[in-house]
Structure 1
Amino acid sequence: MYQQVKLCSPVHSLRSQWACRLQTPPNSRRFFTTCQSLLGSYADTLPALRINSNTRVIFQGFTGKQATANAKDSLAWGTKIVGGVTPGRTAEHLGLPVLPSVRQAMEQLKPDATAIYVAAHQAPGAIQEAIEAEVPLIVAVAEHIPVHDMLRIHSMLKTQSKSRLVGPNSPGIISAIGKCRIGFQPLPCFSPGRVGIIAKSGTLSYETVASTTRAGLGQSLCIGVGGDMAPGTDMVEALSVLEQDPDTEAIALIGEIGGMGELEAAAWIKEYNARNESPKPIVGLIAGVNEAPGRIMGHSGAFTFLGEPDAKAKITALEEAGVTLVNHPAKIGDIMKTKLRGTAESGMTNGFNPFVSGTQRRQLHSMRGPGRRPLVAGSFVHNTHQHQQRQSIYLDANQCFDELRARGGINCGPYSGHGTRRLLAVGIDRSARSPAILVGPSVEDWIEEAQRTTAPVKSFPFDYRRGPDDLSIERIASHIQLSNKGDSAVASLRRLIKTLTNLFYEKEGLLLTTHIVERLGEIKVVHARFAFDQATFRNGTPPDKIKAMQVRATAEPAEIEAEKSGIVYVKLAGDDATIGTLVNGAGLAMNTVDALADAGGKATNFLDTGGKATSETVKESFRIILQDPRVKVVFVNIFGGLTLGDMIARGIIMAFRELSLTVPVVVRIRGTNEKEGQKLIADSQLPLYAFDDFEEAAAKAIELSRK
């Protein structure tokens, strides 16, 4: 819990011109300080992303194991680390000063950036401390920070113009030219060069880096926007920085399911291309075409939320904006080289095989759908078990009704068949990085086939600290087209919104969905389904967060079993699915499923071993995959960052020997310690098929799956 903290800095600071006050969200048990800036805005902090050889870096959590190892590698590479912070300590570490607070580090060490290496439940406090100290660039790499903590952080960021955040759930930011690494990127892949990279996924960005290095292009600035629901820096902001970067001659854009960022990037790129005679070429990739509907695919933000486009819509929008799309990051280097030489690809068709060797144009991912899909209601609207977002915590309809009646005296009951059902939900607007009321005039089309609806959803974002105001509620009433414009209908709508937002704050909601009808001049709730952020509970939030609520997790047994080992496992549908996949990194895991599908194969599962996979984790992954009787071959696709290639190889060998594997295994290892891993596989004398090329490995896995 944060107590009130004075944010005003000394006289010479811009913050001395601010009026500071404490304001908390309704019923919130956490106190959060906010200031309203009189000058500047968060957009003014974008130049902080232009890191270089002179960037002075500190570490928060400096003396911890991860920070120490990372700092040693970064120092050896050339990063100008000037010290760090460990609360309550004044000492020396790695020959550099350790100070007890970020404010003291800011005063004495004059850093330009801070890298936050603390656990997820400590990260919000560390970010807040860095904002208060006015560190220009804050890089947070932690995964599973509760969404509401990030919404609070954004409510701070929007009121200031001194600090820029990258992350969380991000590998960080790195300048290959300036030898400045603020994150945990695998350094052997990088080489100084010409390509700027923007990526949601760490492993896909590493693959892109390796591809551009092999192509002799190298990298300029790589910005890991991360896979969080509310990232500190989004794709459009990163694009605007690379546009102005003189070292960047071409851009790789790596996206995935979740959010509107890719559509916003497409709109920006279309405008950018129109106003430039010689725009920088942009090559892109979108992971998650074959997502499991309504499921989190590894990253905390990797799922299609209410009102958001799917991967195909993102691909279509980017193609229409002039971006060249590929289906695997290993292809980006050669395509980028061709574009920088001025050779345009031609002859694109819908029926190409991206795995057939030959000209580069045959390897492009040209997935053209029926056109850009309007913003639609995603699988959260559908109330079937198979479509539930299974890595959150839920209340069913009856439990939701009980909460609404008890908290706000809301009229709830089953739908009688009379009246137009409308959508009203409290959730998160990822673009606004704030909570929002989500509404739709009708849900009639959503009830039967939620995945095929074209019904629009409108977002009404509101300030996290203040909640929705009366004017917003009047606009919502107008948008949902209440036939009864009387005071009683609007008053009951206002009472329902207040009840939902209070519950959203108090229990740290993710998406609280209701279907409403007009009944006797008032609003009646005829269906409800509430989802809460599981990260809040994972990170040790006190049990009273869910007091008086009978929450239930809806994960299948294999998924619960996997999670205990730090593995994200999602079983994919299809009796014809035959290829078990074992991958490190959520983005790469999604892309592996997609690329296999493009080549004619079908994966039985999505499996992300996690960024810190061990040999035991790999063995456990095999055990979980092989519980599925459909699996005829296991395809291991590893690109080493934090995960080491030799460690993965040892896990594969261990699995073979201890689990008595009877299905063939195809292994592709690239990245950190790739040669050591490949050698271990080659020397094992086990029936393994080892490759370093993805296309060859995928082709072999598909061949074996058909026997």
Structure 2
Amino acid sequence: MRIQEYQSKRIFSHYGIPIPKGRVAINAIIADHIYEELKPDVVIKAQVLTSGRGKAGGIRLAKSAEQVEQITNDILGLTIKGMPVKKILVEEAVKIDQEYFIAIITDKDAGMPALMASKYGGMDIEDAVRENSSAIYTLPIDPLAGLLEFQVRSAALAVELPKQLWNDFADIVLALWKLYEENDADSVEINPLVISEGDKLIALDAKVNIDDNAIYRHPELTEYFDLEEEDRMEYQAKKYGLSYVKLDGDIGCMVNGAGLAMATLDLLSDQGGKPANFLDIGGGANSEKVSSGLKILMQDERVKVILINIFGGITRCDEVAKGLLSVFNNTTIELPVVIRLAGTNAVEGLEMLKNSGLIVVENIGEAARISVQLSTGSKK
């Protein structure tokens, strides 16, 4: 679960990580009120769950009420990497003497957390890493021992931080570790962490990404879930306990079991087709999950054909048929639907679907071929 910057900063503040004063706004009137509290200079930042806001014109400095109104309206009219800007963060402007990059991530290859630090913070961090892979200092963190103070000092030394700031730096990084650990985060990031006036370290930006699989342990974090920023179909899949990943094709896929789902996507690709999604209804799926999965696929305007591939083990094929019929009997489906049912109660399930209008195929290879033909208009 990705969290907006203003929400991430709220969490930062709870852990004692210094951040600029500021509040979120949805229009120029609210932005002007915030400006009156923070003037003379403020920074107005687009709140979207993507990188590259600065280069897209989503982060700008305002020095007057007139500029606040103009810049707010300009930024709220932006679409950054396909995401419309609906909220802005208005913050006090901070004088920057030096920028750094700090993050704690889950290193899936190493199977443990890692501390990352660089003296090249801000918008240019990606270019710096691209030109010099050693621009980021990376240190594995033993999950049992946790992040230790000597490791934080090593990071401070690696990024050439002035020695008089080492204690403040340690407080921030150890607080970042505590945040990461206590909230089951995938990653937490400050970019940039800046030295400001009076030799103060301040987190100018904040990113917190929580492991979706751990959300049930942190119900207090659900308030940060922003439906407007989340893909509609991904949100609905989470709601019904389905595994959904949006892809860039036009064949909607619903399968039970991750392995079977991946094999189905491979078969479509081998036939020259392009899957629109990965949708796993899971083992033991009941009719409600099946109908919910089908409704999600039907919402995708890109989809030209739906392929359903079910191999019944714990999942009963008659339950799958029941779920499909509950949708077909109440909704007009204009898309062709190809289905392959095999395994537990397959005979019963196929009998139920006999007059449903679905394209029933026994072999998954054949089902994939027909689905690709229907999506491309080929007659082969």
How high is the TM-score relative to the length of structure 1? Answer: 0.37
Q: Are the equivalent residues in 2 in contact too, given 1:611–1:642 (CA < 8 A)?
A: yes
Structure-2 change in CA distance of 1:487 and 1:550 (3 Å): farther
Match among 576, 594, 610 for residue 282 of structure 2: 610
- For 1:477, the equivalent position in structure 2 comes to 156
1:85-484 mapped onto 2 (5 Å cutoff): 392=1, 394=3, 396-405=4-13, 407-408=15-16, 410=18, 412=20, 421-440=99-118, 442=120, 444=123, 459-478=138-157, 481-484=158-161
Q: Deviations over 1:230-277 (max 9, x none)?
A: xxxxxxxxxxxxxxxxxxxxxxxxxxxxxxxxxxxxxxxxxxxxxxxx
**1:705 maps onto 2:347 in alignment:** no
Q: Deviations over 1:73-130 (max 9, x none)?
A: xxxxxxxxxxxxxxxxxxxxxxxxxxxxxxxxxxxxxxxxxxxxxxxxxxxxxxxxxx
Other structure's SS at 1:530 match: strand
1:480-519 mapped onto 2 (5 Å cutoff): 481-484=158-161, 486-519=162-195
Amino acid at match of 2:244: Y
- For 1:567, the equivalent position in structure 2 comes to 242
Q: Deviations over 1:586-620 (max 9, x none)?
A: 34334433442343222233322122212232222
Amino acid at match of 1:692: E
Shift in Å, 1:407: 3.5
The CA distance in 1 between the partners of 2:117 and 2:315, in whole Å, is 43
Structure-2 change in CA distance of 1:565 and 1:412 (3 Å): same
Q: Are the equivalent residues in 2 in contact too, given 1:623–1:659 (CA < 8 A)?
A: no
- For 1:555, the equivalent position in structure 2 comes to 230
Amino acid at match of 1:555: E
Other structure's SS at 2:314 match: coil
Structure-2 change in CA distance of 1:614 and 1:531 (3 Å): same
Q: Deviations over 1:508-561 (max 9, x none)?
A: 43321111355266644232111234444425x5x5x55xx9623443333333
Number of aligned residue pairs: give it.
Answer: 300
Q: Are the equivalent residues in 1 in contact too, given 2:96–2:194 (CA < 8 A)?
A: no
Structure-2 change in CA distance of 1:622 and 1:447 (3 Å): same
- For 1:668, the equivalent position in structure 2 comes to 340
How high is the TM-score relative to the length of structure 2? Answer: 0.65
Shift in Å, 1:634: 0.7
Shift in Å, 1:572: 3.4
Amino acid at match of 1:632: K
- For 1:264, the equivalent position in structure 2 comes to none
Other structure's SS at 1:399 match: helix
Structure-2 change in CA distance of 1:403 and 1:706 (3 Å): closer
* Contiguous gaps of at least 5 residues in structure 2: 22-42, 44-53, 55-93
Match among 575, 581, 588 for residue 260 of structure 2: 588
The CA distance in 1 between the partners of 2:351 and 2:99, in whole Å, is 62
Q: Deviations over 1:567-593 (max 9, x none)?
A: 2334434xxx33111111234334433
Most deviating of 602-611 and 414-423: 414-423
Q: Deviations over 1:402-424 (max 9, x none)?
A: 44355335355879896775432
The CA distance in 2 between the partners of 1:417 and 1:695, in whole Å, is 62
Amino acid at match of 1:581: C
The CA distance in 1 between the partners of 2:6 and 2:355, in whole Å, is 58
Structure-2 change in CA distance of 1:492 and 1:550 (3 Å): farther
Match among 521, 526, 531 for residue 204 of structure 2: 526
Q: Are the equivalent residues in 2 in contact too, given 1:615–1:651 (CA < 8 A)?
A: yes
Structure-2 change in CA distance of 1:694 and 1:442 (3 Å): farther
Q: Are the equivalent residues in 2 in contact too, given 1:640–1:674 (CA < 8 A)?
A: yes
Other structure's SS at 2:15 match: helix
Structure-2 change in CA distance of 1:655 and 1:639 (3 Å): same
Structure-2 change in CA distance of 1:670 and 1:477 (3 Å): farther
Q: Deviations over 1:662-700 (max 9, x none)?
A: 22111123444445545554xx13332223333221110
Shift in Å, 1:500: 0.7
> Structure 1 or 2: larger helix share?
2
Q: Deviations over 1:119-144 (max 9, x none)?
A: xxxxxxxxxxxxxxxxxxxxxxxxxx
Amino acid at match of 1:410: P
- For 1:258, the equivalent position in structure 2 comes to none
Structure 1 stretches of 4+ moved >6 Å? 413-420
Structure-2 change in CA distance of 1:612 and 1:440 (3 Å): farther
Amino acid at match of 2:107: D
The CA distance in 2 between the partners of 1:425 and 1:687, in whole Å, is 53
Q: Deviations over 1:132-165 (max 9, x none)?
A: xxxxxxxxxxxxxxxxxxxxxxxxxxxxxxxxxx
Q: Deviations over 1:600-655 (max 9, x none)?
A: 22223332212221223222222221122332211112233322233323433443
The CA distance in 2 between the partners of 1:511 and 1:617, in whole Å, is 31
Q: Are the equivalent residues in 2 in contact too, given 1:640–1:672 (CA < 8 A)?
A: yes
**1:597 maps onto 2:272 in alignment:** no
**Identity across aligned pairs (percent)?**
29
The CA distance in 2 between the partners of 1:570 and 1:512, in whole Å, is 23
Structure-2 change in CA distance of 1:660 and 1:704 (3 Å): same
Structure-2 change in CA distance of 1:455 and 1:494 (3 Å): same
Higher relative contact order (CA 8 A, sep 6+): 2
- For 1:359, the equivalent position in structure 2 comes to none
The CA distance in 2 between the partners of 1:644 and 1:560, in whole Å, is 26
Q: Are the equivalent residues in 1 in contact too, given 2:105–2:188 (CA < 8 A)?
A: yes
Other structure's SS at 1:659 match: coil
Q: Are the equivalent residues in 1 in contact too, given 2:287–2:324 (CA < 8 A)?
A: yes
Structure-2 change in CA distance of 1:597 and 1:441 (3 Å): farther
Structure-2 change in CA distance of 1:665 and 1:427 (3 Å): same
Shift in Å, 1:701: 0.3
Other structure's SS at 2:205 match: strand
Structure-2 change in CA distance of 1:706 and 1:494 (3 Å): same
Shift in Å, 1:393: 5.3
Q: Deviations over 1:480-527 (max 9, x none)?
A: x4234x322322321211111222233343321111355266644232
Structure-2 change in CA distance of 1:671 and 1:460 (3 Å): farther
Other structure's SS at 2:170 match: helix
Amino acid at match of 1:561: Q
Structure-2 change in CA distance of 1:517 and 1:534 (3 Å): closer
1:52-71 mapped onto 2 (5 Å cutoff): none
- For 1:338, the equivalent position in structure 2 comes to none
Q: Are the equivalent residues in 2 in contact too, given 1:572–1:604 (CA < 8 A)?
A: yes
- For 1:20, the equivalent position in structure 2 comes to none
| CA RMSD, Structure 1 to Structure 2 (Å) | 3.6
The CA distance in 2 between the partners of 1:519 and 1:459, in whole Å, is 21
1:625-640 mapped onto 2 (5 Å cutoff): 625-640=297-312
The CA distance in 2 between the partners of 1:453 and 1:584, in whole Å, is 44
